[in-house]
A and B are shown apart, each in its own frame.
With several copies, the nearest count.
Chain A
Amino acid sequence: MLYSEKVMEHFANPRNVGEIEDANAIGEVGNKKCGDIMKIYMKIENEVIVDIKFKTFGCGAAVATSSMATELVKGKTIKEALAITNKAVVEALEGLPPVKMHCSVLAEEAIKSAIADYYRRQGIDPEPIVGCSLKCESCHSHG
Chain B
Amino acid sequence: MIYVDNAATTRLKPEVLEKMMPYLTDHFGNPSSIYTSGREAKIAVNSARAGIAAALGATESEIFFTGSGSEADNWAIKGVAHAAKGKHLITSAIEHHAVLHCFEYLGRNGYEVTYLPVDSLGLVNPEDLKNAIREDTALISIMTANNEIGTIQPIPQLAAIAREHKIPFHTDAVQAFGHIPLNVNELGVDLLSVSAHKIGGPKGVGALYIRKGTKITQFIHGGAQENGKRASTENVAGIVGFAHAAALAIRNLDENAKKVTELRDYYIKRVKETIPYCVLNGHPELRLPGNSNFSFEFIEGESLLLSLDMKGIEASSGSACTSGSLDPSHVLLAIGLPHEIAHGSLRISFSEDNTKEEVDTIIAELGPIVQRLRDMSPLYEGIKNKA
Contact = CB atoms under 8 A, between A and B. Distances in A.
A37 B310 contact: no
A57 B328 CA distance: 14
Interface stretch (B5-13, B249-257, B377-385): B377-385
A58 B326 contact: no
A63 B323 CA distance: 17
B324 A28 contact: no
A140 B340 CA distance: 16
Interface string A25-62: 00010001111111100000000000000011111101
A1 B34 contact: yes
Contacts of B340: 32-33, 35, 57
B43 A55 contact: no
Contacts of B310: 12
A58 B378 CA distance: 10
Given A35-B340, A37-B377, 12 more contacts: A2-B43, A32-B338, A34-B326, A35-B326, A38-B378, A55-B378, A57-B377, A57-B378, A57-B379, A59-B301, A60-B306, A141-B326
B103 interface: no
A102 B326 contact: yes
A2 B33 CA distance: 10
Contact of A55 (B34, B325, B327, B376): B376
Interface string B21-48: 0000000000000100001001100000
A97 B324 contact: yes
Given A1-B34, A33-B340, A56-B376, A140 B303 contact: no
B250 to A, nearest CB: 27
B300 interface: yes
A94 B338 CA distance: 34
Interface in B330-387: 338-340, 343, 375-379, 381
A99 interface: yes
A32 B310 CA distance: 26
Interface of B: 34, 39, 42-43, 298-303, 306, 310, 323-328, 338-340, 343, 375-379, 381
Given A32-B339, A57-B340, A39 B326 contact: no
B300 A35 contact: yes
Contacts of A35: 300, 326, 328, 339-340, 343
Contact of B298 (A17, A28, A57, A62): A57
A8 B309 CA distance: 11
B315 to A, nearest CB: 15
A102 B338 CA distance: 22
A24 B2 CA distance: 45
Contacts of B343: 32, 35
A62 B377 CA distance: 11
A11 B306 contact: yes
A60 B377 contact: no
A139 interface: yes
Contacts of A59: 300-303
A11 B376 contact: no
A1 B43 CA distance: 10
Nearest to A99: B324
A90 to B, nearest CB: 17
A63 B379 contact: no
Contact of B39 (A2, A28, A99): A2
A14 interface: yes
A39 B42 CA distance: 33
B306 A32 contact: no
Contacts of A34: 326
Contacts of A19: 381
B59 to A, nearest CB: 16
A95 to B, nearest CB: 14
A32 B338 CA distance: 9
Contacts of B300: 35-36, 57-59, 62
A39 B306 contact: no
